[in-house]
Amino acid sequence: MSLGNIGTLFASLGDVERGLEYFERALAIAIETSNTEDSGSHLCNIGNVYRKLEDYPRALEYFHRALTIFEKAGDRRRTSALLGNIGTVCFYCGDFDEALRYVKNALQVAEELGDTYGIALWRTNIGELYSTQSWHQFNLKKAEEYLLGVLVVQEKAGAMVDQYWIHKILGNVYKQQERWKDAFYHSEKFHELKDEYHNISTVKSVTDSDSKRKIAIISKEKEITDAKNAELEIANKLKTKLLGIAAHDLKNPLGNIIGFVKMLLEETPTESEHHEMLTMINESSQNMLKLIGDLLESSAAEIGAMTLELDTIDAAEILRTVIYSNISSAQVKKQRIESTIENLNIIADSKRLRQVVENLVGNAIKYSHSDKNITIRLFRNNTNARIEVQDEGQGLTQDDLSKLFGQFQRLSAQPTGGETATGLGLSIVKQIVELHGGRIWAESEGKNKGATFIVELPLAD
């Protein structure tokens, strides 16, 4: 799977910061290999991420860089899209004159190409601009002309999402003109089409999003060397298995989201209901995002896309941070976390090391019953730093120990507090530890006798 595809999938799932990380790595490779087309695409993706993060100056920077590439390449369709994107960001920044200039340029290129979607989109944006009261060119008549013209085209094309948005803007235009009958009509049409669109798109999203995941997960680099063919064949088999697990394990979280999304979209729910719905949707979304994140991490590691940012770090500080962040989870289950920690420096990626320790401590809490002890140690063992996470939980059988760090393994132990598990966490942990030149293993005297997970990493000189 290409880095750009991984970034796109993370961004589509709402994890824009991780998406940005992969886009930037993909951009660096494209620049290094002088691949201008890919460079332009990755610049666009990064610009869109910064727009979502409301970092508009940086969004404009990346959009302008991409625009230069596509103008030089003569790619007029992408040029039109980028001109419109820049205009949209200018609108968000309150620079309405610049917004109009760029969007009109985008519209001109779209008209020359006969791009009906682009024409409708940019005319809608211009109509919205003219309906902005704080702009010195505020003109409701022009706004109405642009929007009504686009609405006719969109109704013929059956573009529901564009229709309901235009109805919303027109409703606001007529409210400002105190044309209450027209305002009411367009407001009603907005809500009617919005509900209809979301009902249809929510049902379709299950199969559509699954298809997109399949395309993203099984996509390979355009050009691969002969030496990687066998490795990629194995990765493809793994990805097929990933899809089966995703289809099964995502069923319930997606069902929750679908079940409550219509209620959430209602205009005025009561405060208590709103809070309850948001909580349920958030929990389901987080479970889904965690699962997909694990799938992507595992896939990235399989094709060698996982890299480390190594530095000399204080391992003790990492452990103390993880302990602090897990105290509340342990307290909920009346568990006690004890620690014996030496101050040791190691060469490691601090973010990845924390991921390892978070997983081990989180598992100790997850698989231990209430009123148990969890002990965390860090000490020197010859030339290594040794981390031990010991629990008084359900223990490990010999069968568990033999498959503990494999992918998608389900062990005899089960979470004790209703938590979820994907069967991928320890596999990813093992890959991270081994990338550091370390090793990880577990020890247990058997079922219901607890377990100790041990990580050894080289000390800094």
pTM of this prediction? 0.45
pLDDT in tens, 300-330: 666 566 778 899 999 999 999 999 989 988 9
C-alpha 355/C-alpha 351 separation (Å) is 6
For the chain, what is the HEC assignment? CCHHHHHHHHHHCCCHHHHHHHHHHHHHHHHHCCCHHHHHHHHHHHHHHHHHCCCHHHHHHHHHHHHHHHHHHCCHHHHHHHHHHHHHHHHHCCCHHHHHHHHHHHHHHHHHHCCHHHHHHHHHHHHHHHCCCCCCCCCHHHHHHHHHHHHHHHHHHCCHHHHHHHHHHHHHHHHHCCCHHHHHHHHHHHHHHHHHHHHHHHHHHHHHHHHHHHHHHHCCCCCCCHHHHHHHHHHHHHHHHHHHHHHHHCHHHHHHHHHHHHHHHCCCCCHHHHHHHHHHHHHHHHHHHHHHHHHHHHHHHHCCCCCCCCEEEEHHHHHHHHHHHHHHHHHHCCCEEEEEECCCEEEECHHHHHHHHHHHHHHHHHCCCCCCEEEEEEEEECCEEEEEEEECCCCCCHHHHHHCCCCCCCCCCCCCCCCCCCCCHHHHHHHHHHHCCCEEEEECCCCCCCEEEEEEEEECC
List of domains in the chain? 220-302 (1.10.287.130), 311-458 (3.30.565.10)
- Note the pLDDT of residue 208: 45
Residue carrying the six token digits 């505020």: 138
Residues of the chain with pLDDT under 70: 1-2, 12-13, 153-162, 164, 193-305, 408-409, 418, 420-424
Q: Are 341 and 319 in contact (CB under 8 A)?
A: yes
- Note the pLDDT of residue 268: 47
